[in-house]
A = this chain, B = another copy of it.
Amino acid sequence: MARYLAFDIGGTKIATGFVTLEPGASPRVEDVHTVPTEAVRGGNDVLQRIVALAAARIGESDDIAAVGIGSAGVVDPDTGAIVSSTDLMPDWAGQPLGAAVAAATGLPVAVVNDVVAHGLGEAVHGAGRGYARVLSVGVGTGIGGALIEDGCAVPGAHGVAGHIGHIAHGLGQGVRCSCGTRCGHVEPIASGTGIGTLYNLKKPAGAPPASDGKAVAELVAAGDPYATQILAMSARALGEALGGAANLLDPDAIVISGSVVRSGDVWWHALREGFADGAMALTAPTPLLDGRLGGDAPLVGAAVDASRRTDHACSPVHNCP
């Protein structure tokens, strides 16, 4: 049994909590506190507050083995520094997050991307438990993901592995993706934002625009036939793209989380239909599983990452120290 201080650092809020990992038992997440990120104050300011928060929280407990951090941005898994970030967190790129928290706490610190932390949590202790190779997919404002192999996150050559939102699908052709391309990625038409975009592109003339996927899902719940068609079209496209990803990766399971998976049966049915069409006969039975840990997933995953790395349980190919 070991106890970890875990961070989940996003563009809007920073959550911290204590996670206890015990072989054969479910992880215990306790004393979760949340503070606003106030990202507009800049990366230096955000880092200083995180360091102070880490020092304060470590003082609450005398049996912390290590600190696990899931953070927005592309992370260098070896140093725990932030390699790049979006405009949502100005000056976050370049911050020496891992080193700063290690200096403030005197503890080993492991840093991964927040979407990867989420995926690790679900793969090891959530819906993906028992599956060796898991593709984790997060469908929220954007679409992110992670590849988990034997309980280790695969960082990839540039810390980018798992960016499932940025794979090709024809429905996205001409629609601008958050990465800048218009060549046809799945994110700009299948994320929460993308469902709204797709609805506004295809809605009947005169119908009021929908702000996002939640608004479209509400129209669907109210019986709107256009909204139902658009939501299904979007989910089907995501399913087809995931079917192709399953042909390429052939994972043991695919875990799907995020706000959009709460869009109801229309969404899930079309997703599964698209997946069955895009997947080959041998990969079509790959389980598509609904995430199970909810908001705890990134904290659990950050703790798992810290635990696995301090135990040297990940092979060098996964860049774990």
Contacts and interface: CB of A to CB of B under 8 A. Distances in A.
A198 B256 CA distance: 35
Contacts of A157: 133, 250-252, 283, 286
A103 interface: no
Given A150-B317, A168-B168, 10 more contacts: A133-B157, A158-B282, A159-B250, A159-B282, A163-B283, A164-B247, A168-B169, A179-B280, A184-B240, A185-B278
B84 A163 contact: no
A217 interface: no
Interface in A135-189: 145, 147, 149-150, 154-164, 166-173, 179-181, 183-186
B277 A247 contact: no
Contact of A317 (B132, B171, B286): B132
Interface string A224-253: 000000000000000011011101111110
Contact of A240 (B150, B154, B159, B183): B183
Contacts of A241: 168
A147 B245 CA distance: 13
Interface in A239-279: 240-241, 243-245, 247-252, 274, 277-278
A248 B249 contact: yes
- With a 10 A CB-CB cut-off, give which of A150, A247, A315 has the most chain B CB atoms: A247
A147 B156 CA distance: 13
A160 B250 contact: yes
A160 B245 contact: no
Contacts of A29: none
A250 B158 contact: yes
A150 B247 CA distance: 21
Nearest to A174: B170
A162 B172 CA distance: 24
B280 A161 contact: no
Contacts of A286: 157-158
Nearest to A239: B183
Contact of A315 (B180, B185, B249, B315): B315
Q: Which 5 A-B pairs have the closest CB atoms?
A: A170-B170, A156-B250, A167-B244, A161-B250, A166-B247
